[in-house]
């Protein structure tokens, strides 16, 4: 999972430099991180000696058998908050931490939560489709699925649609790529793992079941962002996050002879509104406050 070093976050840092702080973690992203960590620890400490599943993973993971044949439909949601190992939870929490805030600020908190959970559901459904059609070798209707990766892959594809040229710096290998290229890489790896698993006759180490979930989340993430009207939001071109530099170049605000400099509380209030309702909810006056707050003092 890559660590983000995108232009948007560098712009956010410059914006908050004017108020002497750092951008706050959006509320949904923060609680996704907290809930995933707490639930993993609960499951870890309830595992029997040498066992792979604790009380949560054993009872709330997704399987085709239990979710659809036994009517435990809530597993489509609960499996998204469960993890197998420390490396598994760390990798997924890094993905949420670095990419979640970007997407949440674009979608708005309520829509982002719906988007994230729907991408997770899509991952389970795609896993089901490939299992029932025999494309996932060695899997049957009792094979378990856990992890937040489907929602994270949906976030990656969402960012790739909204701002394909945004930059991401990977931890391994340590290179910088565009979000479009990163999306193509992770999708390609998922497809390759499924193909290799078929050629090998079914090897759990290749995690083709998990990769199927990744693909399902990514596909829905792409579609929902390409057609955000499905979640009651305008198109990416109409509601792209406005960066300070772009704002100064492209904004067509009503000219003023003087502008009051925003106070820290003004900026915090406006950014809280973005977290709740998305960037499209801002008035022209609020947008101009953010513009002024992002400028160095000598430019004001």
Asked if the model's pLDDT at residue 167 lies above 90, the reply is no
Q: Is residue 133 predicted with pLDDT exceeding 60?
A: yes
Q: What does pLDDT average to over the chain?
A: 81
**What are 112-125's pLDDT values in tens digits?**
999 999 999 999 99
Name the fold adopted by 3-231.
Rhomboid-like fold (1.20.1540)
Ranges in the chain annotated CATH 1.20.1540.10: 3-231
Average pLDDT over residues 47-58: 89
Three-state SS string over the chain comes to: CCEECCHHHHHHHHHHHCCCCCCCCCHHHHHHHHHHHHHHHHHHHCCCCCCCCCHHHHHHCECHHHHHHCCCCCHHHHHHHCCCCHHHHHHHHHHHHHHHHHHHHHHCHHHHHHHHHHHHHHHHHHHHHHHHCCCCCCCCCCCCECCCHHHHHHHHHHHHHHCCCCEEECCCCCCEEEHHHHHHHHHHHHHHHHHHHHHHCCCHHHCHHHHHHHHHHHHHHHHHHHCHHHHCCCCCCCCCCCCHHHHHHHCCCCCCCCCCCCCHHHHHHHHHHHHHHCHHHCCHHHHHHHHHHHCCHHHC
What pLDDT score does 236 carry? 58
pLDDT: which is higher, 243 or 178: 178
The per-residue pLDDT for range 237-256, each reduced to its tens digit, is 555 444 434 333 333 333 33
């Amino acid at each position: 999972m890559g660590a983000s070093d995108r232009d948007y976050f560098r712009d956010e840092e410059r914006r908050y430099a004017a108020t002497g702080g750092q951008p706050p973690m959006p509320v949904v992203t923060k609680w996704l991180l907290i809930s995933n960590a707490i639930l993993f620890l609960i499951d870890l400490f309830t595992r029997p000696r040498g066992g792979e599943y604790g009380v949560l993973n054993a009872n709330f993971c997704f399987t085709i058998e239990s979710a659809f044949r036994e009517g435990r439909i809530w597993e489509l949601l609960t499996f998204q908050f469960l993890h197998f190992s420390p490396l598994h939870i760390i990798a997924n929490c890094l993905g949420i931490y670095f990419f979640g805030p970007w997407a949440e600020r674009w979608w708005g908190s309520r829509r982002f939560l719906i988007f994230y959970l729907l991408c997770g559901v899509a991952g389970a459904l795609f896993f089901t489709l490939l299992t029932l059609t025999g494309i996932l070798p060695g899997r049957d209707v009792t094979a378990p699925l856990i992890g937040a990766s489907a929602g994270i892959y949906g976030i990656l594809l969402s960012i790739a649609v909204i701002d394909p040229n945004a930059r991401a710096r990977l931890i391994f290998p340590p290179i910088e790529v565009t979000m479009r290229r990163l999306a193509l890489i992770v999708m390609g790896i998922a497809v390759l793992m499924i193909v290799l698993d078929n050629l090998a006759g079914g090897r759990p180490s290749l995690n083709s079941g998990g990769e199927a979930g990744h693909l399902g989340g990514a596909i829905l993430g792409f579609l929902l962002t390409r057609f955000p009207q499905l979640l009651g939001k305008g198109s990416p071109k109409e509601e792209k996050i406005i960066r300070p530099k772009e704002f100064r170049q492209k904004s067509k605000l009503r000219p003023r002879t003087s502008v009051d400099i925003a106070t820290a509380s003004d900026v915090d209030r406006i950014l809280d509104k973005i977290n709740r309702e998305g960037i499209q909810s801002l008035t022209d006056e609020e947008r101009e406050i953010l513009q002024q707050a992002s400028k160095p003092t000598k430019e004001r």
